[in-house]
Amino acid sequence: MKQRILVTGGAGYIGSHTVVELQNAGYEVIVIDNLSNSRADVIDGIERITHIRPAFEILDCNDRNGLVRLFEKYPGIKGIIHFAASKAVGESVHQPLQYYKNNITSLINLLELMPEYQVQAIVFSSSCTVYGQPDLLPVDENAPIKPALSPYGNTKQINEEIIRDVIYSGVPYKSIILRYFNPIGAHPSVEIGELPQGTPQNLVPFLTQTAIGIRKELSVFGNDYNTPDGSCIRDYINVVDLAKAHVIAVDRLLGGKNLSNVEVFNLGTGQGVSVLELIETFERVTGVKVPYKIVARREGDIEKVWANPAYANRVLGWKAVESLDDTLLSSWKWQLKLRERAIM
Ligand code: UD1
């Protein structure tokens, strides 16, 4: 019988790609999402790719009674992948309580209910933001956690600590914490991708919206950093590669292959790419010019960070395989598809 997995935030960007990979791997998926930053028709896209429609409920993880009803309605959930969270760094600075309440209460609700419903495993979406500006690059999982630069970043750190404390207290479940670097790209079918609401804060959606003419020009935040071309460096990882790591994490926890009851993995490519290099690559692979200007540094930005993914490569047997060229091409095809569908 197929094992049931609950995916919170499963209509979101990384969540939806992960639902596809879970279904491809033979899991039965239940998606919950409050649709605060996503659209219900994402579920149609998932169905078009996999020919399976996941069960879908509009539900906020802060609604504890709603979660109880969900676990009653779908008995036998074996594992949870918890994506649902607010993730706008700037917004979190202005609305810290909303971020703490939303991102922390939702995790606590799930952790509290897991033993009652015999849920054995939880995979948590964390971020390389927990490393701040690392002293050593590439950064590995043993690097010290630096004070968070935003309430959003702090919620990731706090949630990691909550998971560790709860697991060490001896609860009957296990966890894998995945620290993502910068996820970009769209599913090769172009049925699902990133759907930013309002003005995109992240680089690639802003870039593709500029390339298609929705935005006049892209602002490059700073060219006076201590990097070869002066712009910031990140580790851009293909979203499908990233999604596949979640399936491996679930297999590992449910198969009892974990080495400890809480494990942490970096999910990145190991390659640092600057903002200017990324723009050049996009222009080369698509043949589309991106108007941009250099502006002041963005507050809170880290100069350079890229992953040492060796631990995930070795222990999970997972590796990012998609090239930056193909990934950026998929982002562009997705942007064109959004226009075709008159969504954006
Ligand atoms: C940020 C967060 C990260 C979070 C992620 C998802 C930090 C340090 N990082 O990643 O924790 O998980 O968002 O929301 O808070 N850039 C431009 N012009 C733009 C937009 C971005 O030049 O219009 C540059 C930025 O300065 C940065 C790079 O592009 O160097 C990537 O930015 P972005 O896509 O926003 O991701 P991060 O800031 O790395």
pLDDT at 1 over 80: no
* Catalytic residue, candidates 13, 27, 152, 173: 152
Coil, strand, or helix at residue 282? Answer: helix
List, for residues 4-51, the tens digit of each pLDDT value.
999 999 999 999 999 999 999 999 999 999 999 999 999 999 999 999
DSSP string, 240-265: HHHHHHHHHHHHHHHTT--SSSEEEE
Atom of ligand 1 nearest to the CA of 156: 11
Tokens for 219, please give them: 């602002």
List, for residues 269-323, the tens digit of each pLDDT value.
999 999 999 999 999 999 999 999 999 999 889 999 999 999 999 999 999 999 9
Beta bridge partners of 178: 125, 265
Exposure letters 48-81 (e unless 16+ CB within 10 A, then b):
ebbeeebbbeebbbbbbebbeebbeebeebbbbb
Strands (E), 10-93: 28-33, 55-58, 77-82
CB of 70 closer than 8 Å to CB of 7: no
For 231, residues 6+ apart whose C-beta sits below 8 A from its C-beta are 220, 222, 223, 225, 274, 275, 276, 277
13 assigned to active site: no
Q: Is the CB of 89 under 6 A from ligand 1?
A: yes
Q: Is the CB of 234 under 6 A from ligand 1?
A: yes
Ligand 1 centroid to residue 248 C-alpha, Å: 27
pLDDT at 64 over 70: yes
d(CA 214, CA 5): 38
Tokens for 69, please give them: 């009803």
Report which protein residue has its CA nearest ligand 1's atom 20. 203
For each of the domains in the chain, give its residue range(s) and CATH number, in order of start. 4-184+236-267 (3.40.50.720)
List, for residues 119-162, the tens digit of each pLDDT value.
999 999 999 999 999 999 999 999 999 999 899 999 999 999 99
Residue type, 104: I
Coil, strand, or helix at residue 289? Answer: coil
